[in-house]
Amino acid sequence: MLQPALLGGLAIGVLSALPVINLANCCCAWILFGGGLALWAGRWIQPLLYAVSPRDPVVFGVVAGVLLFAAGLASLLPALRASRVDPTVALRTE
Whether residue 13 lies inside any domain: the answer is no
Domain annotation covers residue 7: no
Domain span at residue 43? 19-93
Any domain includes 48: yes
In a domain, 47, yes or no: yes
Tens of each residue's pLDDT in the chain, 94 residues: 445 544 445 555 555 566 666 666 677 788 888 888 988 998 898 888 888 888 888 988 998 899 888 888 887 787 778 778 777 777 777 6
In a domain, 35, yes or no: yes
Q: How many domains does the chain have?
A: 1
How far is the C-alpha of 2 from the C-alpha of 72, rounded, in Å? 33
Please indicate, yes or no, if residue 2 is contained in any of the structural domains: no
Residue 1 is predicted with a pLDDT of 47
Q: What is the pTM of this model?
A: 0.63
Whether 76 maps to a domain, the answer reads yes
Question: Does residue 83 belong to any structural domain of this protein?
Answer: yes
Residue 43 near residue 54, CB atoms below 8 Å: yes
Residue 27 host element (H or E): helix 4-45
